[in-house]
């Protein structure tokens, strides 16, 4: 028991230090309760308006996929270490386990859970290939701006 005495002493000293720090800060710190102190604050952005809508479920689905694949990795590492001892039974069990995860991931992809941006553009056979952004977009608002006009003429000349 006497070999654990330094560890016990260190634990008691750590607890006393924490309690003493909390009590000292409560007694010595000025207490000014203001509205900004109790307002929600995250990542340097103060809340100015109410959130207009809730988060889409896609955020949570991606988080769940992340957790699922973390769990899969946690199970794959010990299996890889003990692969020789487990034999064919371990191989079949891990194939079933990975298959279930793969099916859930394929289902998530098929349902569009990982599509975040706008839909993929499909080429339209009615639009000619000669049509480009330079030939179809009209540039407006450059008249009367001397610096912009000279800059745009230099760009077009180059």
Q: What is the pLDDT of residue 16?
A: 98
pLDDT, tens digit (0-9, with 9 covering 90-100), for 34-77: 877 777 766 666 666 666 666 667 777 778 888 888 888 888 88
Q: How many domains does the chain have?
A: 1
Nearest residue to 74 via CA among 104, 89, 94: 94
DSSP annotation of 55 reads: P
Residue that the structure tokens 């995860």 belong to: 101
In a domain, 37, yes or no: no
Q: What is the pLDDT of residue 96?
A: 93
In a domain, 142, yes or no: no
In a domain, 96, yes or no: yes
In a domain, 4, yes or no: no
Find the domain containing 83 and state its range. Answer: 57-110
Q: Which residues contact 40 (CB under 8 A, 6 or more apart)?
A: 47
* 155: enclosing H helix or E strand: helix 146-157
In a domain, 146, yes or no: no
In a domain, 89, yes or no: yes
pLDDT category at 156 given cuts 50, 70, 90 is low
CB 63 within 8 A of CB 56: no
Lowest mean pLDDT among 25-29, 61-65, 78-82: 61-65
pLDDT, tens digit (0-9, with 9 covering 90-100), for 111-147: 777 776 665 555 666 666 666 666 666 555 555 555 5
pTM over 0.95: no
Length of the chain: 158
Higher-pLDDT residue of 130, 24: 24
Report the SS3 class of residue 46. Answer: strand
Residue that the structure tokens 């109790």 belong to: 38
């Amino acid at each position: 028991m006497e070999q654990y005495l330094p560890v016990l002493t260190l634990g008691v000293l750590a607890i006393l230090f924490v309690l003493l720090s909390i009590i000292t800060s409560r007694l010595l710190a000025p207490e000014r309760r203001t509205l900004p102190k109790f307002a929600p604050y995250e990542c340097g952005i103060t809340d100015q308006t109410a959130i207009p809508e809730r988060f889409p479920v896609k955020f949570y689905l991606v988080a769940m996929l992340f957790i699922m694949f973390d769990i899969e990795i946690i199970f794959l590492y010990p299996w890889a270490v003990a692969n020789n001892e487990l034999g064919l039974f371990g191989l079949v069990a891990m194939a079933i386990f990975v298959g279930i995860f793969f099916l859930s991931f394929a289902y998530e992809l098929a349902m569009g859970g990982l599509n975040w941006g706008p839909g993929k553009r499909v080429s339209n056979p009615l639009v000619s290939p000669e049509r480009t952004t330079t030939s179809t977009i009209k540039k407006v608002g450059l008249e009367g701006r001397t610096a912009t006009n000279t800059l745009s003429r230099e760009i077009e000349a180059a």
